[in-house]
Structure 1
Amino acid sequence: MKYFAATYTYGEPSLVDATRPAHREFIAGQLALGRIVGSGPYVGTEQALIILQLPDTATEADAADVLDQDPYSVAGALAARDIREWNPVSNIFS
């Protein structure tokens, strides 16, 4: 498996709040599919981290395709999103 770390920077607070239930439903669905292995906000910031687990052949574009379906992305609730391939040297995910 290949891992990707995505950092979300939240946009307009009212839009983030309105979209949060659908976002959490999306995350739960991706967890059930095994695509997301962890997610949550950074404490005291307007950012969150999502860890994706995708097949060995996956690219950052594939990770972006998954996250493009997130209601936060669809609604334009994010000010920024950064996705990077991540190498979990100390790996509890597999």
Structure 2
Amino acid sequence: MGPGRIMLLPMSVFAVEYVYVADTESIRDEHRPAHREFLAGLVADSDGIALVASGPYVDGSGALLLIAAPSQAALAERLAKDPFAINGTIAVLRMTEWSPVTGELAHHA
């Protein structure tokens, strides 16, 4: 590979579920701007991690994030830097490799 060329890493899509610690709404409100800035920074760069979509559950119990990443380990390492994780608002973080076969996100498979 010559200079100036970017090596594309093999990617998987992960469905990441955050389940929030009960009664942490005020902490999440305080850190939400930094959390959203963190998510906006998940763009395919040298580590290959890129946010596909994200959003909270309507009932406020957690959130679902779809993230392309070269490995689950790399993604877990990056998500540990989320301000919500750092500030103890996530009770459960579940990551499942997902294959979007049909629909608007199928090109990520």
For Structure 1 versus Structure 2, the TM-score category normalised by the shorter chain is 0.7 to 0.9
TM-align CA RMSD = 1.8
- Residues in 2 aligned to 1:26 and 1:5: alpha-carbon distance in whole angstroms: 17
TM-score normalised according to structure 1 size: 0.84
Deviations 1:26-57 (A, max 9, x none): 011114756111100122241100111113xx
- Percent sequence identity over aligned pairs: 41
**Which AA in structure 2 matches 1:50?**
L
How far did residue 16 of structure 1 move?
1.1
The unaligned stretches of length 5 or more in structure 1 are none
Give the one of 49, 64, 68 matched to 2:76.
64
Structure 2 residue aligned with 1:19, among 18, 31, 40?
31
Choose the corresponding residue for 2:100, options 81, 88, 94.
88
2:47 is equivalent to residue 35 of structure 1: no
In structure 2, distance between residues paired with 1:10 and 1:50: 14
Provide the secondary structure at the position in 1 that maps to 2:41. helix
The AA in structure 2 aligned to 1:62 is A
* Larger gyration radius, structure 1 or structure 2: 2
- 2:4 corresponding residue in structure 1: none
